[in-house]
A and B are shown apart, each in its own frame.
Chain A
Amino acid sequence: DARVTQTPRDKVTEMGQEVTMRCQPILGHNTVFWYRQTMMQGLELLAYFRNRAPLDDSGMPKDRFSAEMPDATLATLKIQPSEPRDSAVYFCASGLDLTSGSNTGELFFGEGSRLTVL
């Protein structure tokens, strides 16, 4: 049963610490998205990749957030230094190329990483 795997599921840290969240997309998917979910803002798009190349990271605070895909099986989202306002659930989602006419556009989401910054 193919699924997107995210680690850690829960993370509590103190302000100023570095946080790294990891995502293993579904094998064969070439598009990866990072979203952040809060009650106030809903699901916010942070960054996305196609074929491991970053397409847009304009949703991220550039001074503290960074997103990478070191290889096709791993996407990372790093926050350094973390702040209390970064507390949220971070979701990774993978899918097929959205620009392909034959694609339904379906994204497969992981179960999220819940981050609490004290």
Chain B
Amino acid sequence: EDQVTQSPEALRLQEGESSSLNCSYTVSGLRGLFWYRQDPGKGPEFLFTLYSAGEEKEKERLKATLTKKESFLHITAPKPEDSATYLCAVQAYDKIIFGKGTRLHILP
């Protein structure tokens, strides 16, 4: 069964304190791994697509990496505006399955 597991469930960091979020997956025929950001009361917003092990993508303070079994979202020197829920998802042929997300809170 296709599955996405994210850890930790919640993370509180001081502003400027770098950390990483984990996404482990089992899927038959991975076609892509995605990271989304979700703010309270909003729908998820797309951040990155990763296709193969070793690939990396960056956007501002965020960097996503991919191995054969997991992906990491690294957050460098975060700011309070980076507080959100970060969702990982995988594409299994023609459908996209999401993990439960990591709630990130950056304290000023």
Q: How far is the CA of A108 from the CA of B34 in the complex (A)?
A: 13
- Counting contact residues on chain A (CB < 8 A from B), the size range is 20 to 34
Summed over the interface, the residue pairs from A and B with CB atoms below 8 Å come to a total of: 62
Binds A, one of B14-22, B64-72, B75-83, B93-101: B93-101
Per-residue interface assignment for chain A, residues 82 to 117, with 1 indicating a CB less than 8 Å from any chain B CB and 0 otherwise: 000000000101000011000011111111100000
B98 touches A43 (CB 8 A): yes
A111 touches B41 (CB 8 A): yes
Q: Is A45's CB within 8 Å of the partner chain B?
A: yes
A45 CB contacts on chain B under 8 angstroms: 95-98
Residues of chain A touching chain B, judged by Cβ–Cβ distance below 8 Å, are 4, 31, 33, 35, 41-43, 45, 48, 50, 55-56, 91, 93, 98-99, 104-112
